Chain A
Amino acid sequence: MKRLGIMVWFVLVLGAGLTTFTVKYAVQNVEDELNRVRKQTVAERQEIRVLNAEWTYLNQPERLAELNQRFLGLVPITAKQLQQSIADIPLRAPAPAPAPAPDVVVAASPEPAAPPPASQSAIAPVAYSPAAAAPPATTEPSTAPISLDALIAQAAATNPEPAAPPTAPPTAPPAAANQPAIAPVADGPVPAPAAAPISATPISATPISAAPISAAPVQLARAEPNTAPNSLDALIAQIAEAK
């Protein structure tokens, strides 16, 4: 009887000890994991910051304007292209007459399908991928462009030819859909009618054939302005040298 009691206590103590031991190690493991995840979060955050800066850098209006000039030839939208009321839109012709198509596209989107910057950003994906391919040695930081490139390649793959909507307006919406949503102008109960620049192109832009795009990589590699740093990396390097 007494012996049994001792055994019970012994087992209890042993059990308690074992439990404490395992719990302690479990907690330690969890804490290690937590620490690791936290460190990773910090690293990821930092990477996001770098990528954000890089993305912004690549989206500099001057650069986009230059790329646009070279590959797309989009021109600023004019007042004539922005129709006011639904009555201004001509009805679709019963026969497959292609004439009023661009007007329809423009006029049909007074409610913006995408915010105004869509036009700017939309230029980037197509134009950037050859750019990144051409000068690989000098531009990218270790991790950033890999994912960025992948992203861009993806965007370009899903939307191979946003530059040629004259005959096929349906390609325009995906281009807009790829773009990040951007807060509307603070003043704005008035929707930005500039949403349409992509689809508006056909009216006044010079028609784009596939030729300049296929020739792109070679052109771009040489045409980068040599004074301006062509990536954030280069910019950082420049700053560092300055200091």
Chain B
Amino acid sequence: MLSAQRLDENPCRPRHFRPPPCTPLVTDERQAIVLETCRSRLVLTAALFAVVFVVVALRLADVVLLSGINAESHAVRPGMTATPPLRADIIDRNGRLLATTLTSPSLYADPRQIIDARAAVRAITSVLPQLDPAEIYAKLTSGKSFVWIKRQLTPRQEYEINRLGIPGLQFRHEDRRVYPFGDLAAHAVGFCGIDNNGLAGIERALDTTLKASPGPIRLSLDVRVQFILHEELTKVVNDFSAKGAAGIVMNVRTGEIIGMVSLPDFDPNHPGRADPNLPPAEEKERTFNKITLGDYEMGSTFKIFNTAMALDAGTTSLTRTYDAIHPIHIGRFTITDYHGKHRMLSVPEIFMYSSNIGSARMALEAGAERQRAFLARLGLLKPEPVSFDKVSTPQFPNPWREVNVITIAYGHGISVSPLHVATAVSAIVNGGILRPPTLLALPPGTVPAGKRVISQKTSEEMRKLLRLVVEYGTARFANVPGYVVGGKTGTAEKNQNGRYELKKLMSDFVGVFPMQDPKYVVMTLVDEPHGTKASHGYATAGWTVVPATGRIIQRIAPILGVPPVDQTSPAIVQALAVRSLMGKKIEAY
């Protein structure tokens, strides 16, 4: 209740002011009620405000004292230099840089800001002598607001230009892909276009990953192996004036590709400009990866699969012998041997001497259905399941007739890529487990899941047979001391427009080492080699790619950590001995 007395007791009342005595307030019921309502409303409003202020205070305390300052949200503010994510590097298995992104300055000018164009031209050309002064002068006096002077300068040139101190000259920084190893891993790594989108190889296959990845992508390649492969294959191409060559080194247990070279190749730093004088077809040939995209008839190399098929199916055994005296006549074809022995040959001898007749008889015995199913099981009838590159689709006959059974037994009438062969041979020698090839490094010690394609026993028998070929057969030039190499050669005439060209060969060799416990497979092939004096005019695999593969193995084995062994030690001789040939004098091929 307001009253005169209480008003008078107001301490804030000005002292000189005395309220006049007034009539006591009439205690009006109605007025009292109104005052009461007002007060309660005031209290309510005050309470509301109090609540809001408490909330604000709490929130303040929460933000300032409890949650602290979130450094991240503070860190990036507009105007600050936030680094745009660069395309990730590509490195080899040892961390060597295969592809990286460098930011390089490009010089442009705002001609309206140039005070003395003549002096500016003189200064610019003193730093960049390759520029045409007249052209630059025209640009600088064009009156536009933006002209490029020179794209992609080096850091040094940027520094020099800046030092000239010419107003109106500016830099814009652009990212560019650089491949420090040049053509060394051109086909595997691929290349990027001007806008840094991957156009080939890993760059294309992992384009989105590379754009988003914070760290480098590690490939299974080893630059040192790659170099050795490249060097030796180049030598083969030069020595035998061949059209091209290709090679692949694969870890038989993991499917990792350690080296992959296809010649001729290109420099990914300027793809499509290998040589301006080259015709477009030649240009295309350079960017064509023979390992993944080439489909070739592999010739006798296919006898590996033929023999493994017959042994695994149980239709033959190492002790069986076949008639290699009489040629096989089927339709208009006659199947003969290249270097016929003209006698009964056992299975190891058929393999060692690369007898077409014997192989054909083994295949016929097993039958078309088995042969087809086996090759399908090894993945030789469909594209390799890889994510790192475009791959070829094998070509094989349909329907699968008897004549096809015979030709496929020795590797004609079916075309597969070298990648197929390397992968399938890996499965044959590693104990029988097929694993998809990969170009991405696996963490050390991991072995990806695979599927069994042949038995352990067949795999061990095949190792012995492969060793025989290098010891006594067509691949003796690959017998590198210490590394117990095994393998199989193949020489096929190239099929052009349905006709086999006698003079155009495709020679290939699959080498495996060390044979007592296979670790790596090296597959090489050479396209249209020509015999030389040193090779006595031969252009077959035994004279071309086999010695090269021997040298490759000799050089890469120490790098890959394969310890050399004494080939004559009893343990190894025992492990690789073929019982049916024991005690016999093995005649050389």
Contact = CB atoms under 8 A, between A and B. Distances in A.
B101 A49 contact: yes
A11 to B, nearest CB: 24
B102 A62 contact: no
Nearest to B270: A242
Interface string B83-110: 1000000000111110011111000000
B178 A187 contact: no
B44 to A, nearest CB: 32
B563 A186 contact: no
Contacts of A39: 81
B444 A184 contact: yes
A94 B445 CA distance: 44
A160 interface: no
Given A79-B482, A183-B95, A185-B222, A50 B155 contact: yes
Contact of B558 (A46, A77, A187, A233): A77
Given A76-B554, A142-B159, A239-B152, A186 B254 contact: yes
B210 to A, nearest CB: 15
Q: Taking each of B83, B220, B566, which has the highest tally of chain A beta carbons within 10 Å of its own beta carbon?
A: B83
A196 B104 CA distance: 40
Contact of B152 (A35, A82, A243): A243
Interface stretch (A52-60, A96-104, A209-217): A52-60
- Residue among A57, A142, A191 facing the most chain B CB atoms (10 A cut-off): A142
Interface in A65-81: 76-80
B547 to A, nearest CB: 15
B154 A236 contact: yes
A238 interface: yes
Contacts of B566: 84
A135 to B, nearest CB: 14
Nearest to B160: A142
B368 to A, nearest CB: 38
A193 B563 contact: yes
B104 A236 contact: yes
Contacts of B182: 60
Contacts of B254: 186-187
B561 A56 contact: no
B94 A232 contact: no
A236 B97 contact: no
Given A117-B224, A243-B152, A194 B483 contact: no
Given A186-B254, A187-B253, A193-B561, A35 B81 contact: yes
Nearest to B253: A187
A173 interface: no
A237 B223 CA distance: 25
Contacts of A84: 563-566
B102 A53 contact: yes
B80 interface: yes
A38 B95 contact: no
B273 interface: yes
Contacts of B165: none
B318 interface: no
Contacts of B445: 186, 189
Contacts of A42: 81, 83
B442 A186 contact: yes
Given A53-B180, A233-B154, A233-B156, A116 B102 contact: no
A186 B182 CA distance: 24
Contacts of B565: 84
| A-side interface mostly | helix
Given A61-B223, A240-B153, A185 B93 contact: yes
B134 interface: no
Contacts of B222: 185
Contact of A49 (B93, B102, B519): B102
A240 B559 contact: no
Interface string B121-142: 0000000001000000000000
Given A38-B81, A61-B224, A142-B158, A52 B100 contact: yes
A232 B561 contact: no
A170 to B, nearest CB: 23
Nearest to A186: B444
A232 B223 contact: no
Contacts of A53: 97, 100, 102, 178, 180
A79 to B, nearest CB: 3
B105 to A, nearest CB: 11
A141 interface: yes
Nearest to A57: B180
A120 interface: yes
Contacts of A190: 561-563
B270 A80 contact: no
Contacts of B441: 186
Contacts of B251: 186-187
Contact of B563 (A82, A235, A241, A243): A82
A122 to B, nearest CB: 14
A141 B156 contact: yes
Contacts of B224: 61, 116-117, 120
Contacts of A115: 94
Contact of A144 (B155, B176, B480): B155
A134 interface: no
B479 to A, nearest CB: 12
B560 interface: yes
A240 B105 CA distance: 11
A66 B154 CA distance: 26
B554 A80 contact: no
Contacts of A243: 151-152, 194, 270
B198 to A, nearest CB: 17
B571 to A, nearest CB: 12
Contact of B178 (A79, A140, A235): A235
B256 interface: yes
Interface string B382-409: 0000000000000000000000000000
B69 to A, nearest CB: 11
A126 to B, nearest CB: 19
A161 B224 CA distance: 25
A147 interface: no
Contacts of A232: 178, 180
B472 interface: no
Given A61-B224, A242-B273, A82 B558 contact: yes
Contacts of B538: none
Contact of B270 (A56, A76, A238): A238
Given A49-B103, A185-B94, 7 more contacts: A59-B96, A76-B555, A79-B482, A186-B254, A186-B256, A236-B152, A239-B270
Interface of B: 75, 80-81, 83, 93-97, 100-104, 130, 150-156, 158-160, 176, 178, 180-182, 184, 194, 220, 222-224, 227, 251, 253-254, 256, 269-270, 273, 441-445, 480-483, 519, 554-555, 557-566
12 contacts: A50-B155, A54-B180, A61-B223, A76-B555, A77-B558, A82-B482, A142-B155, A183-B444, A186-B256, A240-B153, A243-B152, A243-B270
The 10 closest A-B pairs by CB, nearest first: A79-B482, A79-B564, A194-B558, A61-B227, A240-B152, A192-B561, A56-B180, A242-B270, A142-B156, A142-B159
